[in-house]
Amino acid sequence: MTDYLKRSYAHSEAVTILPVVQYAFTMPQTVHFGAEFAVAAKNVQNLGGYPVAWTLQKDGAAAAYQGTLGSDGGRIAIYDTGSFTLTAAITDRASRSTTHAESITVTNTAPNAPTMTAAPTRTAKDGKLLVNITASAADPDGDAVTLEYEGTTADGYYAVGAHTIRVRAKDTAGAYSAWTEKSFTIVSSAPTITLTASPTRTVKDGKFLVHITTAASDADGDATTLEWENQAADHYYAPGTHTIRVRAKDSTELYSAWEEKTFTIANSTPTAPVITRTPGGNSVAPGTPVTITAASSDPDGDAITLVWEGRDAETQTYPLGKNVVRVKAVDSTGAESPWAAIVFFVADSNGSGGMTLTGPDSVILENGIEGATITEYHTLMHTAMGQLILAICAAVIFVSTAFVIKLTQPIEYRR
């Protein structure tokens, strides 16, 4: 500028004109839940090094996405459904803001209702039967689905009766299909059983073997187990009357009715033995071998054993004087007959039987013998020796099973 005195004044300043930032982007208008899509920048001008701030909103509130967006855009996925707005904002150094927004709709279709089968089997566990359950579902969008059940058991085993189960499918977006329902019935019939018991004469430890047989059947073909009452572990029973019971239980724990059988183990004692002595007669000379045998029988046909007292062998020599031999029969169960007995003397050469009376007041007392019937006795006098020789029970002394005399008072012999 120049004043009226022609003086000139001048001033200058430098100024920078900032360009206006332009920014836009493109993306699909519709996308499937969780599907990755591209965000591409377009018509970008004067961006320089300014950062781009990206925001996603749904219904006016902030929403999340997965992926990375930069100045050139990027690839992201939205794990939600509905309408969303994606906004890009750039602020330059003059604090001028440039924004651009695009809308997108995220969609999802629920899975189809599953198909399901339930097939009962005869595989049992803890009284229940296994049911083979299968189910499958498809998703129109091709999403992976998971199945959710109601009314099912953890191990697939079900008790006898009617059951209803159902299943639905859920996709990755959390959308559910309709329920699919299936009903089935677990049927089981109680088993039946038969029982026989046949006593034998096979003996062990005084008891008799009983042949016991059972047959259990189940209309469903289930395996059965038997439950017993009063059954001997080895099937041996003592003489007497016994009642045993058995029932069958199938794999679903249904029971048959009790099957009962009563049987009697009969056992008779052997007959009293009949004794035979050879040689017989009133007395036996010293040193003479004497053979003593006995015979008995058992009404049941059981094997018997003879138990002797006073006899070491069938044939043997006996000492001077009175000899008493007793015997009884014992069958295979231990049942015993009454005792049978004989008494005989071994006399020396002068006729004594080993007993000498020393005076007119001497006596010999003889007790009775259990199991013996005295049939005859003799008193002998030897005047030269002044001795009374006695032969008691000189004849064979027998045992009678029907009538046995037991002498309980002493027999007194006097000269």
Burial of 132 (C-beta count, 10 Å sphere; 0-12/13-18/19+): exposed
How, if at all, do strands 61-62 and 66-70 pair?
unpaired
Given a cut of 50, whether residue 269 has pLDDT beyond it is yes
pLDDT at position 48 is 86
Given a cut of 50, whether residue 297 has pLDDT beyond it is yes
Report the amino acid identity of residue 261.
Answer: K
Give the pair of three-digit tokens for residue 298.
């058992």
pLDDT at position 413 is 38
Instruction: Please compute the mean of the pLDDT values over residues 7-24 and round it to a whole number.
Output: 92
Taking alpha carbons only, the member of 397, 393, 388, 392 closest to residue 351 is: 388
Report the amino acid identity of residue 84.
Answer: F
Report how far residue 390's alpha carbon sits from residue 282's, in angstroms, rounded to the nearest whole number: 10
Instruction: Please compute the mean of the pLDDT values over residues 29-56 and round it to a whole number.
Output: 95
| Residue 156, CA distances (Å) to 104, 129, 165, 253, 391 in order | 46, 8, 11, 18, 96
Q: Contact, 118 vs 133, CB < 8 A?
A: yes
Q: Kindly report the average pLDDT of the chain as a whole number.
A: 86
Taking alpha carbons only, the member of 124, 85, 122 closest to residue 106 is: 85
Confidence of residue 354 (pLDDT cuts 50, 70, 90): low
Report how far residue 329's alpha carbon sits from residue 273's, in angstroms, rounded to the nearest whole number: 7
279-281-284 Cα angle (round to 5): 65
Of all residues in the chain, the percent with pLDDT exceeding 70 is 84
Given a cut of 80, whether residue 375 has pLDDT beyond it is no
Rounded to 5 degrees, φ, ψ at 131 are -120, 125
Instruction: Tell me the residue ranges of DSSP E strands in 63-204.
Output: 66-70, 73-77, 82-91, 97-107, 115-125, 128-136, 145-150, 157-158, 161-171, 180-186, 192-204
> What's the DSSP call for residue 355?
-
Residues 150-184: pLDDT tens digits? 999 999 999 999 999 999 999 999 999 999 999 99
Give the pair of three-digit tokens for residue 282.
């009133």
Report how far residue 25's alpha carbon sits from residue 39's, in angstroms, rounded to the nearest whole number: 7
Report the amino acid identity of residue 97.
Answer: S
The DSSP bridge partners found for residue 17 are none
- Round the CA-based radius of gyration of the chain to a whole number and report it: 60
Report how far residue 235's alpha carbon sits from residue 244's, in angstroms, rounded to the nearest whole number: 11
pLDDT at position 17 is 83
Q: Say whether 222 sits in a helix, a strand or coil.
A: coil
Given a cut of 50, whether residue 371 has pLDDT beyond it is yes
Q: How many CB atoms lie within 10 A of CB 341?
A: 24
Within the chain, what is the greatest distance between any pair of CA atoms? 218
pLDDT at position 313 is 95
Q: Contact, 273 vs 296, CB < 8 A?
A: yes
Burial of 274 (C-beta count, 10 Å sphere; 0-12/13-18/19+): middle
Taking alpha carbons only, the member of 243, 237, 245 closest to residue 265 is: 237
Q: Say whether 352 sits in a helix, a strand or coil.
A: coil
